[in-house]
Structure 1
Amino acid sequence: MSSDNRSYHAIPGGLPGQTELMTGRAVFTEAYAVIPKGVMTDIVASLFPFWEKTRGWIIARPLSGFAETFSHYVMEVSPGGGSTKPEPEAGAEGALFVVSGAVTVTVGGMEKVLEPGGFAYLPPSSGWTLKNDGAEPAQFHWIRKMYEKVEGIEAPDPVFARDQDIAPAAMPDTEGRWATTRFVEPSDLRHDMHITVVTFLPGGTIPFEETHVMEHGLYVLEGKGVYKLNRDWVEVEAGDYMWLRAFCPQSCYAAGPGPFRYLLYKDMHRHPRLTGVGAFGR
Structure 2
Amino acid sequence: MSKTDTRADTSYYSSYGGHPPQTDLLTDRAIVTEAYTVIPRGVLRDIVTSVFPEWTGTRSWVLNRPVAGGSTTFAQAIVEVSPGGGSQKPEPQAEVQSFIFVVAGELTLTINGTEHKLIEGGFAFIPAGAEWTSANNGVEIATFHWIRKRFEPLAGVAAPGPVVGNEKDITPGEMPKTDGKWRTTRMLDPDDVAFDFGVNIVTFEPGASIPFAETHVMEHGLYVLEGKAVYRLNADWVEVEEGDYMSLRAFCPQACYAGGPSNFRYLLYKDQNRQIAL
TM-score range, shorter chain: over 0.9
Does residue 204 of structure 2 align to residue 225 of structure 1? no
2:48 aligns with: 44
Deviation at 1:107, TM superposition (A): 0.4
Query: Of residues 180, 188, 194 in structure 1, which corresponds to 2:184?
Result: 180
Check conservation: 2:186, 2:201, Cα contact below 8 A. Answer: yes
Check conservation: 2:207, 2:260, Cα contact below 8 A. Answer: no
**Structure 1 residues 5 and 207, CA, compared in 2 at 3 Å: closer, same or farther?**
closer
Q: For structure 2, which runs of at least 5 residues remain unmatched after alignment?
A: 1-5
SS in 1 for 2:212: coil
2:106 aligns with: 102
Does residue 135 of structure 2 align to residue 125 of structure 1? no
Write the distance in 2 (CA, Å) between the matches of 1:199 and 1:19. 36
Query: Of residues 183, 196, 199 in structure 1, which corresponds to 2:200?
Result: 196
Does residue 14 of structure 2 align to residue 7 of structure 1? no
SS in 1 for 2:211: coil
Write the distance in 2 (CA, Å) between the matches of 1:78 and 1:265. 26
Query: Of residues 214, 218, 225 in structure 2, which corresponds to 1:214?
Result: 218
1:21 aligns with: 25
2:145 aligns with: 141
Write the distance in 1 (CA, Å) between the matches of 2:59 and 2:131. 21
Write the distance in 2 (CA, Å) between the matches of 1:246 and 1:115. 33
1:279 aligns with: none
Q: For structure 1, which runs of at least 5 residues remain unmatched after alignment?
A: 275-282
Write the distance in 2 (CA, Å) between the matches of 1:245 and 1:176. 28
User: Deviations for 1:13-41, whole angstroms, at most 9, x for unmatched residues?
Assistant: 11111111110000001100100000100
TM-score, scaled relative to structure 2: 0.96
Write the distance in 1 (CA, Å) between the matches of 2:218 and 2:68. 16
AA aligned to 1:89 is Q
User: Deviations for 1:91-123, whole angstroms, at most 9, x for unmatched residues?
Assistant: 100000000000000102211100110010000
TM-score, scaled relative to structure 1: 0.95
CA-based RMSD: 1.0
Check conservation: 2:9, 2:263, Cα contact below 8 A. Answer: no
